[in-house]
Amino acid sequence: TNFDEIPEFEKEFKRLFKKYRTLDDDFEKFKKVLNVTPTGVGKNFIILHASPKIKLVKAHLACRALRNNHLLRVIYAYFEQESRIEFIELYFKGEKENEDRERIKAYLKNHQN
């Protein structure tokens, strides 16, 4: 599986990495899970959007630097035909209740064709 990220995700990752030093390593472990099951397994993965070309998934990211392991959320797009995952958003549940729906709408609009 190829992994990409949009610029907003990169900024969020860098900002959160300053606070949670295990994030780099935790994120690599998360990618290994996605290599095996790109849309995840269990209640920690929710498919927000599904079309023949793209699936948008919201997942819990376990971060060892946080006592409660599931306070980080990752939004990503899975392109099955291309075997590619693009990370769209990363946020801390304590700072922000939900994903950025406007960003998701814009992302889908750009990737529907």
Give the model confidence (pLDDT) of 2-27 as tens digits.
Answer: 999 999 999 999 999 999 999 999 99
pLDDT for residue 41: 86
Instruction: Evaluate if residue 69 carries a pLDDT over 80.
Output: no
C-alpha dihedral sign at 26, 10, 21, 74: negative
Give the model confidence (pLDDT) of 34-59 as tens digits.
Answer: 999 999 988 999 999 999 999 999 99
Cα gap 102→32, rounded to integer Å: 29
Angle at 33 between CA 19 and CA 94, to 5 degrees: 30
Pick 25 or 113 by higher pLDDT. 25
Cα gap 56→65, rounded to integer Å: 26
pLDDT for residue 35: 96
Predicted structure pTM score = 0.94
